[in-house]
A and B are shown apart, each in its own frame.
Chain A
Amino acid sequence: MPATVPSAEMTETELLDRAWELSSSVALRPEPFGALAYHFGNRRLTFLKRPELVTLVRALAEHPDARSALAATGVPEQQWGGYAAALRGLAAADMIRLR
């Protein structure tokens, strides 16, 4: 298992350059606003408030880094900062992990 991610310490560039995936203990439930992510291990519930974020999170595993997952999801580059912050939060809750 990858070590608990010190994502809080990563710069935005580092974060976007790394390869991520949805944690194996997490299930995504589609909702009208995006999705609800539930972590069966730590029992945390997180709300992904944008459909694009859901697409991105699902796409992470298929791309060599978060940057290319963002590009493939069609998120405009000027918004990447916001998405990087969301990924950081998700990593802190172990919703996504480095791979």
Chain B
Amino acid sequence: MTILEDRPVRARPEGGTLLEQFEFGLDAPICLTWELTYACNLECAHCLSSSGRRDPRELSTEQCEAVIDELQRMQVFYVNIGGGEPTVRPDFWHLVEYAVAHDVGVKFSTNGVRLTPERAAWLAATDYVDVQISLDGATAEVNDHVRGPGSYDTAIAALRNLHEAGFRDAKLSVVCTRQNIGQLDEFKAIADQYGATLRLTRLRPSGRGADVWDELHPLPEQQRVLYDWLVAHGEGVLTGDSFFHLAPFGEKLPGLNLCGAGRVVCLIDPIGDVYACPFAIHDEFLAGNLLTDGGFQRVWQNSELFAELREPQTGGACSSCQFFDSCRGGCMAAKFFTGLPLDGPDPECVQGFGEQALEGLGDQRRLPASSQDHSRLVPGRNEPVMLQLRRREEIEAGLTSGQAAPPVSACAESPLAGFTPSA
């Protein structure tokens, strides 16, 4: 990508805030996502990685072990494993054990398909492993609409198995959509019922998500509902860095109010391609490949793309906005995949500038062609049928702001959740 041009090269400041330091990147990522396979038993309508079929070039067991060895050398303490559905890899549980034995803690995301009572018991007995179950509706109706028939029952069964096996603090991970914003209390109740922690994330127009974003992304008034709900439940709910674009609704939020892509965040995909962010799987954000470019460390530290991303970015149309400090123009991937300029407002800018920009583009709006797609060629029996769902009417009920607890904890995953920026 060509965002470098003639920006003055700024040197990393000495001291300064943590945010300024993050802007210039770290020696190793702190929010590393590793997608182990593009294969998946489901075909979610909004899959960020357009998964479905395994790629024949996927890393072998030995290659995966070598990646883990390298992460250990780089002191990447924690990796978020996803897919596809990672647990369908026959060597998945072996790789989890291998990572943990090499000081790389694991959190993996799953739709629950392999979480039998036996597996749940094994997980409960294993240290440094976190499990995140995806559920995008608090009822089967809303969930299966996007994730496909039967997926609600699978997820709930997995949660139950974990809970009954004594696994503590699983994460219930929800992508917030127009259809489920009205169910936030119910999601929380499900999480509580199974001793899990609720994690809410933002729907981004990545992968197949681009095709359904217009239909699924929360409406402007729902963004406000979401923000207020987060403020009211700040402590007990994880959000990743998902919602910093909502900060202009209230006070400036602590945590990583910054797009971490290529700076502290990145993705390793199933064939070893390294992208700036799990939501930016596109050639534009491809930094290199760890097999052909001399390993992950070389890519992380030497890629030209990452060097560009670690330059302070200009705010473009956002720089004059009074909220730029906390919002910073929002999410790079959301802009890119909706066809908006990277240095302008987020498509969900709470001031409405994103919508204006999208409208302004009109017929000129060009969505970037996807550069990889592992969707099944023939729909399987689990493909969701996206029939129209009614919006829940009760979304406004009982949701008021007023608590000071800030909703956002830094970055995508838990290692940053309790961080102490002052030390």
Contact = CB atoms under 8 A, between A and B. Distances in A.
Given A32-B26, A44-B419, A93-B420, 13 more contacts: A29-B27, A29-B75, A31-B27, A32-B12, A33-B12, A36-B26, A40-B105, A44-B418, A45-B30, A46-B423, A48-B423, A86-B422, A89-B422
Contacts of A43: 78, 105, 414-415, 418
A47 interface: yes
B415 A44 contact: yes
Contacts of B27: 29-32
A37 B9 CA distance: 29
Interface in B371-423: 414-423
Contacts of B420: 44, 46-47, 89-90, 93
B18 A49 contact: yes
B222 interface: no
A91 to B, nearest CB: 11
A31 B12 CA distance: 12
A9 to B, nearest CB: 19
In the A-B complex, the 4 residue pairs with the closest CB atoms:
A29-B75, A38-B77, A44-B418, A33-B21
Interface in B39-83: 75, 77-78
30 contacts: A27-B77, A29-B27, A29-B77, A30-B27, A31-B27, A32-B27, A33-B12, A33-B15, A38-B75, A38-B78, A40-B77, A40-B103, A40-B105, A40-B128, A43-B105, A44-B415, A44-B417, A45-B30, A45-B77, A45-B415, A45-B416, A45-B418, A45-B419, A48-B423, A49-B423, A86-B422, A86-B423, A89-B420, A89-B422, A90-B423
A59 interface: no
Interface of A: 27, 29-33, 36, 38, 40, 42-50, 53, 86, 89-90, 93
A85 B105 CA distance: 30
Contacts of B285: none
B24 interface: yes
B28 interface: yes
Given A45-B418, A49-B15, A31 B26 contact: yes
**Majority secondary structure of chain B interface residues (helix, strand, loop or mixed):** loop
B296 to A, nearest CB: 15
Contact of A46 (B15, B26, B103, B419): B419
Interface residues of B, number: 26
A43 B80 CA distance: 14
B9 to A, nearest CB: 16
B102 to A, nearest CB: 12
Contacts of B12: 32-33
Nearest to A29: B75
A29 B95 CA distance: 23
Interface in B122-149: 128
Contacts of A46: 419-420, 423
Interface in B14-37: 15-16, 18, 21, 24, 26-28, 30
B71 to A, nearest CB: 12
A47 B418 contact: no
A47 B423 contact: yes
A30 B75 CA distance: 9
A83 B103 CA distance: 29
A54 to B, nearest CB: 10
A36 B30 contact: yes
Nearest to A92: B420
Contacts of B18: 47, 49
A4 B317 CA distance: 50
A89 B103 contact: no
A93 B16 CA distance: 23
B81 to A, nearest CB: 16
